[in-house]
Amino acid sequence: MPDTPHLDRIASPKDLKGLDIADLRLVADELRAETIDAVSVTGGHLGAGLGVVEMTVALHHVFDTPKDILIWDVGHQCYPHKILTGRRDRIRTLRQGGGLSGFTKRSESEYDPFGAAHASTSISAALGFAVANDLQGGDAHVIAVIGDGSMSAGMAYEAMNNAGALDKKLIVILNDNDMSIAPPVGAMSHYFARLVSSKGYRSLRKIGKGLAKVIGVEEAARRAEEYMRGMAVGGTMFEEMGFRYVGPIDGHDIGQLVAVLKNVRDGQDGPVLIHAVTHKGHGYAPAEAAADKYHGVSKFNVITGEQSKPAPGAPSYTSVFAKALIAEAEADPSVVAITAAMPGGTGLDKFAARFPDRCFDVGIAEQHAVTFAGGLAAAGMKPFAAIYSTFLQRAYDSVVHDVAIQKLPVRFAIDRAGLVGADGSTHAGSFDIGYLGMLPGMVIMAAADEAELVRMVRTAALIDDGPSAFRYPRGEGTGIELPANPQALEIGKGRMIREGNSIAILSLGTRLEEALKAADDLAARGLSASVADARFAKPLDEELILRLAREHEVLITVEEGARGGFGAFVLHLLAEKGVLDNGLKIRTLTLPDVFQEHDKPFLQYEEAGLNARHISAAALDALGRAEEAAKLLA
């Protein structure tokens, strides 16, 4: 069927095996078009995937996946891979509830041997597969594809150092699409890359090594070859770490890719790094023209590239934070900001535009970001480290050892607190209340709305005797008016929002709006409910909590965090004070003890049991009105 599109003939990577280079190019062209069309419907990460279309086709053509292990770093690059590995019929469910994940996921496909959504993990995981392969007597090839941005993280170099020392058969492909760490790719570099990966070169290299050993100049010869190649193609650093360096090659030239991959596959005797130069957004003009190369996009028009814009609404929490921090910096020259490769995501791009000398993007290096902030604090500056909750997990030792123990006033602006919708479990901010709350001296705030967030930025700026954190969610605020002259909060003090006498709802964070809805529902059922905003997870407002416990029959805590957080802290307090002995009925509403899948935020909170009806049902159940509660949850 000559008129059948090439991609329609690819049900799995095995269908790529017999194709020639011309046919592979046609598959790549159609794969790029399919990726663009799919993401135009779902939104997601586009630019990175477009940059590896040819590489994806070449890898699945040359290697025998899933027997050969192929690991994509981060997962932003994996959409073309998903299309080629039997998931094309579901690609338009990407990032939708019940659909495909936006990242690689072990439970989704045998072609995803290792899940990835955080950067710089691929080489470590691939080395684990390589060692296991040797111990089990296997003959699989193991390939890690890592972007140059991910190479800014120390973990990648730790893995490479270990891989070089172990001398295992491991292929690392450096997808160089931004850093421009190599000379321009041209005919000579193409030729040299193919030469150093070829059988003839390896044979000659082996003979030369033997001769050098005999005449006693082995080390000098090794260094001469290494530095000659380093001057020619920029691979000295990788060679020093024990990797044979191949490249740079044109990552969009399937002929070059296939030739080099076959050479490496057939002659591998240790770790190899292939340096492929690509262009993010390649092959789609709107992406190539965009400053961010369409790294992350909403739904868009394929013809024009114009992205769908949500109806004008309240400002996002992230933008409110950025504006508040700029205001603090204008009044205080000691205020500085740190981000770990997320200036746009955290709003610090706006801060950097206003104060370029006081904003520091340290790359994908959260551990360094925290200790760097600690050094700034120790030197008398006022650092704000703006890091997503899920990424701050990667720096926990630094938070403990380098900041908390030393009582350094680093301010942690924790974006993406709570559930995050389409990005799912890997990016959910579920654990920060618990993992920070256990640290002595840590002040933890959670904003109920954007006006509260502004006041928390002000409060954090004034805390100078230890670390502090304030958390806020992804997405839009409530539309509340922002304070023109924000006043700092009293540390460890919450606020009463509504007075009642039967049920007390104590909310931490942006579930406050749902708590008020629940109070309205309970009032319609003849029950009087108090609603309070805790503001602080640490230190707790003991006076407020004890008052609520003593004056109400039921106390319900509500938080956008995992078990072991705010509710647990309240239970500890009530147990210590003996209040639980007085017959208080208490319920702690938290995120469930599971990793929740991606979906629309409202539906995620429905699944979590943290919307208004769940709060009402918890109160009714505590009062013995189980049948009424069940109807609410039906």
Active site residues: 280, 366, 394
Six token digits for residue 202: 């390896």
Closest CA to 342 of 334, 333, 352, 357: 352
Determine the straight-line distance between the first and last CA of the chain, rounded to whole angstroms.
Answer: 53
CB of 219 closer than 8 Å to CB of 227: no
- DSSP H or E run through 172: strand 171-176
Residues 15 and 615: their CA atoms lie apart, in Å, by: 53
Q: What is the DSSP letter of 538?
A: E
Pick left, alpha or beta for residue 43 (phi over 0 → left; psi -120 to 50 → alpha; otherwise beta). Answer: left
What torsion do the CA atoms of 194, 196, 200, 206 make, to the nearest 10 degrees? -170
Helix, strand counts (H, E) of the chain: 26, 17
Neighbours of 325 (CB within 10 A): 28
How many Å separate Cα 581 from the centre of its chain? Answer: 44
Residues 522 and 395: their CA atoms lie apart, in Å, by: 43
Six token digits for residue 376: 């700034």
Question: Order of strands across the sheet with 69-72?
Answer: 69-72, 142-147, 171-176, 272-277, 244-250
Residues 77 and 98: their CA atoms lie apart, in Å, by: 21
Six token digits for residue 530: 């108090």
As to burial, measured by CB atoms within 10 angstroms (0-12 exposed, 13-18 middle, 19+ buried), residue 541 is buried
CB of 584 closer than 8 Å to CB of 574: yes
As to burial, measured by CB atoms within 10 angstroms (0-12 exposed, 13-18 middle, 19+ buried), residue 328 is buried
The runs of H, that is alpha helices, within 445-562 are 450-462, 512-524, 542-551
Query: Which residues are within 8 A (CB) of 364 and not within 5 positions of it... i.e. 6 or more apart?
Result: 119, 120, 149, 150, 152, 153, 340, 341
Six token digits for residue 364: 């994908």
Q: Which residues in 582-594 are b (16+ Cβ under 10 Å) and which e?
A: eebbbbbbbbeee
Closest CA to 573 of 526, 524, 540, 612: 540
The runs of H, that is alpha helices, within 379-476 are 389-392, 396-398, 432-437, 450-462
